[in-house]
Structure 1
Amino acid sequence: MDIDEQGFRSNSVSSEVMAPKQPNTGLFVGLNKGHIVTKKELPPRPADCKGKTSKRVHFVRTVIREVAGFAPYEKMITELLKVGKDKRALKVAKRKLGTHKRAKKKRQIYRISFI
């Protein structure tokens, strides 16, 4: 799941792709050991689309962001990034958002959109 420039989840598929798995050889030893089976094609499940943002929700969030603007801490982060204080911006974001991972994501979003 990707995060767009405004910080919302987008429906596009992630660009990270794993290497294709080698087929089993039918032998019980070796790198690709295992019984050869045909993969069963399953119908899509409702849980597969969990976490995806619908077009309507994305539109509503962007309109609200345009009308309401940024939170004070977000303005502070953008000012720190403009000055070049990335580490300080990360500290401010971490203090407001709670976790290092969320802070890094928020800093990256503003780094892309304001620089």
Structure 2
Amino acid sequence: LAERELFGRICQSEIMAPRFEIAVGLRKGHKTTKISAGRKGITDKTIKVRPARLKGLQTKHSKFVRDLVREVVGHAQYEKRAMELLKVSKDKRALKFLKRRLGTHIRAKRKREELSNVLTQMRKAAAQAHHHH
């Protein structure tokens, strides 16, 4: 679910603004057609995603396995620290920390997103547990 949500976010930002050929602003540069990954209704036969783009896309099975492993072994030490930083809403600091650990900005951003999702889920779970008692 998380990866679809991320993907949805990426796609949404593309759909939002109408495209005109302009030289300034967010959508500057040459007008192009975005390659869509057959999402919700955009199943145009001519537009197929390159296999290279699909690398690392989570399958149901791999997601299941990862969730299971996560359940058994919990979070890595650096992830815990990053989560602590997120808890006290030091998001930027968390990003910097993760970038040092993971090597690239994009990976760090993705990891931060993932961990903040984990935190919100934990909060929700805690809230529900609180309500039930």
1:9-48 matched pairs, under 5 angstroms: 9-10=3-4, 14=8, 15-16=11-12, 18=15, 41=45, 47=51
Task: Note closer, same or farther for the CA distance 1:50–1:11 as it changes in structure 2 (3 Å cut).
Answer: farther
Partner of 1:68: 73
> Which structure: larger Rg?
1
Partner of 1:27: none
Following superposition, the deviation at residue 113 of structure 1 comes to: 2.6
Say which is worse superposed, 74-83 or 102-111, in terms of deviation.
102-111
One-letter amino acid matched to 1:72: Q
**Aligned pair 1:98/2:103, yes or no?**
yes
Partner of 2:117: 112
**Aligned pair 1:50/2:51, yes or no?**
no
Q: Where does the alignment leave 5 or more consecutive residues of structure 2 unmatched?
A: 20-44, 121-133
Task: Note closer, same or farther for the CA distance 1:85–1:50 as it changes in structure 2 (3 Å cut).
Answer: closer
RMSD, aligned CA? 3.2
Q: Where does the alignment leave 5 or more consecutive residues of structure 1 unmatched?
A: 22-40
Q: TM-score, normalised by structure 1?
A: 0.59
Deviations 1:87-108 (A, max 9, x none): 2211110000101121122112
**Aligned pair 1:86/2:72, yes or no?**
no
Task: For CA contacts below 8 A with separation 6 or more, give which structure has more relative contact order.
Answer: 1
> Where is the helix percentage greater, Structure 1 or Structure 2?
2
